[in-house]
Homo-oligomer: A and B are copies of this chain.
Amino acid sequence: MPIPAPNLYPAFNIVRLSHVELMVTDLAASRAFYVDTLGLQVTDEDDQVIYLRAMEERGHHCMILRKGGTPEVNSLSYKLYSEDDLDKARDWFAAKGLPVEWVTRPYQGRTLRTTDLFGSPMEFYFKMDRLQPIHQKYALYHGVKPLRIDHFNCFSPDVDESVAFYNEMGFRVTEYTEDEESGNLWAAWMHRKGGIHDIAFTNGRGPRLHHTAFWVPTPLNIIDLLDLMSTTGYLSNIERGPGRHGISNAFFLYILDPDGHRIEIYCSDYQTVDPDLEPIKWDLTDPQRQTLWGAPAPKSWFEHGSAFAGVDSRDSKMKAQPIIAP
């Protein structure tokens, strides 16, 4: 299917991705990874849950780690422009026949819980507790100096359908990979906040979360993290990179948390606020779309992901195969 025309006047106004809630099996191990190693800041914690924010964020949390028996994803959350948008969102999802529910979430205002077309749990809010700025408290910076949550990336069993669904919500495609043979989308990057993406979809057994990404200041911070992880017991948590993506032009590193949840460290993509920005098309057979410098991704990168809690995943409709490291 071709890329749909952008929906410039969606039914409700999503500002940006907001946060992810992960189930983790060992809170202390996760804290060592996200706080001590990556450098996220704890905004609240007890023996069941840890709330985290990155250095330039003023909202209370961009990641929630909740203790559980299985490493899963509880929800992907988005910030809406106004309270009015919240009600419009409820109506839009309800009209699609998708489950809608008002839920209570600490540190947030009224919150809507629903799912996307394949059952991935989504939550929407318009108001979250605002904290004092810490972006100039340089004594707090450490690890990879994470500045903000940047995007989600999900496996989808049908990327064409996922793109159509999110496009209707106002997410705009910036870049995409097409399987020339079938004409199907292999992957697509879609944004609300003016970067390459708030969420991307890539072909595979799904729905599952492929990774959550954090934005950092420069490629040197990623090199610093590699030095740190490789000398503090996290060598086997380094999965792919560093490198520059062809798609997005960003400098990247992929790492795995103690439960196998994948995190991307990411910087230097480009501004996409123009509503008439033309999406960039890549061919599935072009190795430079994955890594501009030519190195293919490892097999695990195409196969491994985090399940959404209580959601069954299904096989992808596509048979095409990407280029995989030998």
Binding site for B on A (CB under 8 A): 8, 15-16, 56, 58-59, 79, 81-82, 127, 130, 133, 135-139, 141-142, 147-148, 193-194, 217-220, 223-224, 226-232, 235-236, 238, 242, 244, 246, 249, 251, 268, 270-271, 273-278, 280, 288, 292-294, 326
Contacts and interface: CB of A to CB of B under 8 A. Distances in A.
A138 B221 CA distance: 13
Contacts of A15: 273-275
B82 A8 contact: yes
A276 B130 contact: yes
27 contacts: A15-B274, A58-B274, A58-B277, A79-B274, A81-B275, A130-B276, A135-B249, A136-B292, A138-B228, A193-B194, A194-B194, A194-B273, A218-B220, A219-B219, A219-B220, A219-B223, A220-B220, A223-B244, A223-B251, A227-B244, A227-B292, A227-B293, A230-B244, A231-B292, A235-B288, A235-B293, A235-B294
B271 A193 contact: yes
Contacts of A139: 228, 231-232
A246 B294 CA distance: 23
Contact of A275 (B82, B137, B251, B280): B82
A293 B243 CA distance: 13
Contacts of A56: 270-271
A326 B298 CA distance: 11
Nearest to A278: B130
A238 B249 CA distance: 18
Contact of A278 (B58, B230, B251, B268): B58
Contacts of A280: 133
Contact of A8 (B81, B238, B274, B288): B81
Contacts of A58: 274, 277-278
Contact of A227 (B138, B223, B273): B138
Given A138-B227, A231-B292, 15 more contacts: A8-B81, A15-B275, A16-B273, A16-B274, A56-B270, A138-B230, A138-B232, A147-B270, A148-B270, A217-B268, A220-B220, A226-B292, A230-B244, A230-B293, A242-B242
B223 A59 contact: no
Nearest to A292: B230
Contact of A326 (B138, B223, B229, B326): B326
A299 to B, nearest CB: 10
B294 A236 contact: yes
B135 A293 contact: no
A226 B293 contact: yes
